[in-house]
Amino acid sequence: MSLLSVPVIVTLGVLMQGLVSCAPPLLKYDASEMPPLQLAVVGQPSVHDGRARFRTLFCELAARERPALDCERLLVRLAAEPPAAASAPLPQHDPRLRILLVPGGFAECFKEAGLFPEALPRLQAAGYSVSTVPVSGRSSSAYNAWRIAVAVARTSLPPDGLLVLAGYSKGVVDILEFLVQYPSLAARVHAVVSVSGSVNGSPIANRYTFLFEATDDLLLRDCPPGDRGVAEDLKREPRMNWLARHRLPGHIRYFSIATVAPEEEVARAMALTDGPLRYVDPLSDGQLIFYDQLLPGSELLGYVRADHWAVALPLQKHWYLLASNPAGTHFPRGLLLEAIMLHLSEALRDNT
């Protein structure tokens, strides 16, 4: 769901607006009134709350580097966030972390949509080894699991190295599929990070996959088709059934960052898919509902105030009119990813 082509979004949006806009949404509340939520299958472990520590790390990093940034605003404070502990010094970066980034759906189809481009040099400068897994943009997660497996197998890991898979949007689903399909390679993984992960899929994909599949060959004709399973893997029911059938490996630490944005801070092109989602729940990032984004059993790091694209992709730079938002906001992606890796450095400190 990370990147649908603009014509598809416009078509879907117009159709969906027409279908649902005849009555007001049932749910209306401020983000500060609602605690974090996870739509979970029976027996799935709940998330645990790591928001307070992550806010401290993110804000201290921001204060050090860009004092003008309003850090409190960039991390949305949902209800029941624990108070921050007494200020502790920032942890040291841990150069043992070997980071593989896994892009979302359609990334391969849009060269200008590189994942966290600003973050790569700064992470490398901090001593991390970082690379991006070339997953297929239009393929299912089962297909991409193999590509991740190849990347993991080829990653040289020193004896004390810590392999981290960081996925964005559908890339997170690809990672989960890899973990259960390739247990011997999954044994090499120490941590998985989900950034706006389409963990439970999205109602948007549920309804309009048929329309996408009828038009994608035309709209994405320059993009390798793979197995064309991308949209099916973003539907809510298949995702929930997958989660009910599989248990994630217990030796891995899981972390989740979710995204939510007010309507006026959602990319203009995405506002058309965002509208219908807000009939389901007001906390949306334009493509996903907040309770669909958390990995089972993960540590919840926080809710970033960004739409589904702005958190990870530099689209505002390339598609100014459609990817920018009416409020004119931007999100410091590089800062976010560095804060995540600092948090991991601290959390995995005792791992060997």
Partner 1 sequence: MLDYSLDVPAQTLIPPGAPPVRDGRARFREIFCALLAREPSAAERPCDALLHRLSDEPDTATLARPLPSHAPGLTVLFVPGLLGGCAYGLSAPFESAVQRLRRLGYDAWVAPVNASSNSHANAERLAREITKSRSERIVLIGHGRGAVDILELLVANPAAASRVQAVLSVGGAINGSPLADTPAGAALLFSRGEDMACSEGERASLGDLKRTHRLRWLMAHPLPAQTRYFSIGAFAPRPEVAPPLRPRAAALATIDPRNDGLAPFFDQVIPGAELLGYANTDHWSIAAHPLGLAPAQGGATPETSSFPRDVLIEAALLRVIESLTSGGAGG
Q: Which one of the spans 69-77, 101-109, 139-147, 274-282 is the region binding partner 1 (CB under 8 A)?
A: 274-282
Least distance in angstroms from the C-beta of 33 to partner 1:
4
Using CB under 8 A, which of 15, 17, 45, 211 touches partner 1? 45
Q: Which of residues 157-216 bind partner 1 (CB under 8 A)?
A: 203-204, 206-207
Q: Which is nearer to partner 1, 116 or 303 (CB)?
A: 303
Least distance in angstroms from the C-beta of 291 to partner 1:
6
- Which among 248, 244, 213 is positioned nearest to 230, based on CA atoms? 213
Residue 237 interacts with partner 1 (CB under 8 A): yes or no: yes
Helix axes 236-245, 170-181, angle to 10 degrees: 30
Using CB under 8 A, which of 52, 63, 80, 321 touches partner 1? 80
* 289: DSSP letter: B
Give the phi and the psi of residue 48 in degrees, each rounded to 5. -115, 155
Q: Which is nearer to partner 1, 22 or 86 (CB)?
A: 22
Least distance in angstroms from the C-beta of 206 to partner 1:
6
* 351: DSSP letter: -
DSSP string, 174-228: HHHHHHHH-HHHHTTEEEEEEES--TT--HHHHHHHHHHHHHHHHHTTTS--TTS
Least distance in angstroms from the C-beta of 51 to partner 1:
9
Helix axes 236-245, 203-219, angle to 10 degrees: 110
- Token pair for 196: 């706006």
Q: What angle do CA 54, 198, 266 make, to 5 degrees?
A: 75
Residue 111 interacts with partner 1 (CB under 8 A): yes or no: no
How far is residue 57's CA from residue 350's CA, in Å, rounded to a whole number? Answer: 19
Q: Which of residues 4-33 bind partner 1 (CB under 8 A)?
A: 16, 20, 23-29, 33
CB 135 within 8 Å of CB 106: no
Residue 124 interacts with partner 1 (CB under 8 A): yes or no: no
Using CB under 8 A, which of 111, 154, 221, 245 touches partner 1? 245
Beta bridge partners of 48: 299
Residue 36 interacts with partner 1 (CB under 8 A): yes or no: yes
Using CB under 8 A, which of 3, 6, 8, 47 touches partner 1? 47
How far is residue 49's CA from residue 270's CA, in Å, rounded to a whole number? Answer: 29
Q: Which one of the spans 45-53, 135-143, 179-187, 264-272 is the region binding partner 1 (CB under 8 A)?
A: 45-53
Q: Which residues bind partner 1 (CB under 8 A)?
A: 16, 20, 23-29, 33-49, 79-80, 203-204, 206-207, 236-237, 240-241, 243-245, 276, 279-281, 291, 300
